[in-house]
């Protein structure tokens, strides 16, 4: 603690404070610019619209799309990867790209609608988020895409070479780490997800059913059961890792007291994977329990009364009343849980202290490939493959839950 002095704390607070201030001032300037620029843009878009009306909407759409796609390609190809990589020969023509972008935007027949003065407020509200997304998501993504076509690694650090699709081919043909190849890691990640979700749902359901009864000190039990959810994941993982220590961990001490042999949680591939699962099951049950408890409480008592009159047993009531009525809550919760577990980094990373490749999932393998072995080009391609897999998940999720219905209808 002696290194965390008042000076250090004040410095950090000062840095955070000034960053917040910069963001605030930047936002204000951005809003003012959008406010004053909107009117001229509207007038300009109408003028262009009137001038280009003889061309016909279809042609204008085509021109606009071509220009905008061209600008996008130009931008992707211009993001330089290495610190000292010479800019591409086309880089000095960026102002032309800006002009092409403006022309592309205004040629479109929808331009007058987009730049209508009534749209000023929505765009003002949207502008800070757009800038944030551009800087924090779009730019890094474009950079990453470029990296995936290069051999960026410590030997080619400041000016890497273009290698085409080689990195993408190697994701599937060469080990992604030292020994393990892509498909075993992928299958393990699926196994990891299935095991965890199965336990989350059954465990969460059992606890939710117990808590849904009349019970003394129900609030206390509920609080205690939700506790794992409230602890930051890395902290919980490190605590669990300590408990899996061969000599000093609680788990082995308890096993030995019960007369069982101590388990090599950190070195045995099977047991390390089991340790990961135990930790994540412990972490994930509370979420499922809370969601399902909410669902159970929304089921009206009349259904059960009616079932009882019909002579249904407890099991039949659960199977024919509870489960169907929980379905609308269960489906999104399971899909969300699946995505979270599939992409969980903390548990597989922290519990796998010895960096066993037999315990790596897609995300931890990606992390090791990039930041431990520094094969940044390979890792970027690997990241885009992972991105593709998660995109499929996300689409399935959105389809199954209708999550975007409200925004698109």
Partner 1 sequence: MKRSILTLVALATLIATILAGCCPSPATPEPTEPAAPEPVEIVLWTKEGEADGGLQFVQALADAYTAENPDVTFEIINKDVETLREDFLTAGLAGSMPDLLWTVNDHAGPFTDAELIMPVDDMFDLSKYVGSALAAAELGGQTWGVPISNGNHLMLIYNKDLVETPPANTDELIAMGQELTTGDQYGLVFNQTEPFWLVPWLGGFEGSVFAEDGKTPTLDTAAMVDTLQFLYDIKHTTPIIPAESDYDGADTLFKEGKAAMIINGDWSLGGYKEAMGDKLGVARIPMVSATEEWPRPYTSGVYFMLPEGLEGAKLEAVKGFVEFVTNEENQVKMISELNRLPALESALDAPIIAEDPILKGSADQMVVGTPMPTVSEMRCNWDGMKPEMQAVLADTKSPEDAAAAMQAAAEACITDLE
**Chain residues that interact with partner 1, rule: CB under 8 A:** 3, 39-40, 43-44, 47, 83-84, 92-95, 98-99, 102, 153-155, 157-158, 174-175, 178-179, 245-248, 262, 264-269, 353-357, 371-376, 378
CB of 225 to partner 1, least distance (A): 32
- Closer Cβ to partner 1, 202 or 270, answer by number: 270
On whether the CB atoms of residues 278 and 357 are closer than 8 A, the answer is: no
- Closer Cβ to partner 1, 3 or 315, answer by number: 3
Question: Could you give the C-alpha distances from 41 to 97, 113, 189, in angstroms and in order?
Answer: 19, 11, 50
CB of 256 to partner 1, least distance (A): 10
Question: Could you give the C-alpha distances from 267 to 129, 244, 275, 366, in angstroms and in order?
Answer: 46, 11, 11, 21
CB of 46 to partner 1, least distance (A): 8
CB of 272 to partner 1, least distance (A): 9
Q: Which of 154, 344, 133 is nearest to 234 (CA)?
A: 344
Block residue for tokens 């290069």: 150
C-alpha–C-alpha distance, residues 352 and 265, integer Å: 9
- Closer Cβ to partner 1, 97 or 290, answer by number: 97
- Closer Cβ to partner 1, 8 or 224, answer by number: 8
- Closer Cβ to partner 1, 179 or 408, answer by number: 179
CB of 324 to partner 1, least distance (A): 46
Block residue for tokens 């699962």: 277
On whether the CB atoms of residues 154 and 83 are closer than 8 A, the answer is: no
94 conformational bin, left if phi > 0, alpha if psi -120 to 50, beta if neither: alpha
CB of 132 to partner 1, least distance (A): 19
- Closer Cβ to partner 1, 174 or 396, answer by number: 174
């Amino acid at each position: 603690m002696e290194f965390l002095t008042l000076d250090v704390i004040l410095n950090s607070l000062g840095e955070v404070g000034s960053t917040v201030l910069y963001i605030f001032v930047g936002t204000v300037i951005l809003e003012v610019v959008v406010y004053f620029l909107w009117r001229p843009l509207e007038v300009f878009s109408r003028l262009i619209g009137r001038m280009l009306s003889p061309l016909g909407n279809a042609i204008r759409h085509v021109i606009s799309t071509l220009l905008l796609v061209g600008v996008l390609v130009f931008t992707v190809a211009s993001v330089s990867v290495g610190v000292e990589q010479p800019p591409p020969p086309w880089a000095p023509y960026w102002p032309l790209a800006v002009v092409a972008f403006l022309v592309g935007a205004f040629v479109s027949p929808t331009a007058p609608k987009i730049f209508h003065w009534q749209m000023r407020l929505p765009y003002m509200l949207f502008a800070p988020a757009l800038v944030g997304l551009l800087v924090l998501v779009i730019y890094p993504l474009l950079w990453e895409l470029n990296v995936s076509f290069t051999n960026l690694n410590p030997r080619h650090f400041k000016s890497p070479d273009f290698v085409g699709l080689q990195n993408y081919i190697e994701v599937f043909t060469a080990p992604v780490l030292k020994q393990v190849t892509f498909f075993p890691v992928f299958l393990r990640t699926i196994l990891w997800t299935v095991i965890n979700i199965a336990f989350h749902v059954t465990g969460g359901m059992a606890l939710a059913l117990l808590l849904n009864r009349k019970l003394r000190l129900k609030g206390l039990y509920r609080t205690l059961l939700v506790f794992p959810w409230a602890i930051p994941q890395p902290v919980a993982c490190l605590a669990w890792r300590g408990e899996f220590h061969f000599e000093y961990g609680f788990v082995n001490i308890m096993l030995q007291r019960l007369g069982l042999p101590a388990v090599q949680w950190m070195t045995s591939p099977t047991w390390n994977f089991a340790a990961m699962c135990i930790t994540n099951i412990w972490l994930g049950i509370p979420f499922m329990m809370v969601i399902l408890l909410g669902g159970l409480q929304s089921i009206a008592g009349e259904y059960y009364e009616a079932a009882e009159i019909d002579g249904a047993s407890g099991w039949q009531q659960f199977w024919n009343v509870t489960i169907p009525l929980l379905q609308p809550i269960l489906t999104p919760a399971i899909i969300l849980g699946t995505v979270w577990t599939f992409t969980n980094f903390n548990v597989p990373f922290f519990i796998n202290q010895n960096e066993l490749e037999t315990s790596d999932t897609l995300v931890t393998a990606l992390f090791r490939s990039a930041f431990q072995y520094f094969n940044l080009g390979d890792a970027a391609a690997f990241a885009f493959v992972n991105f593709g897999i998660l995109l499929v998940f996300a689409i399935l999720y959105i389809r199954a839950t209708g999550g975007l219905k409200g925004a698109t209808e």
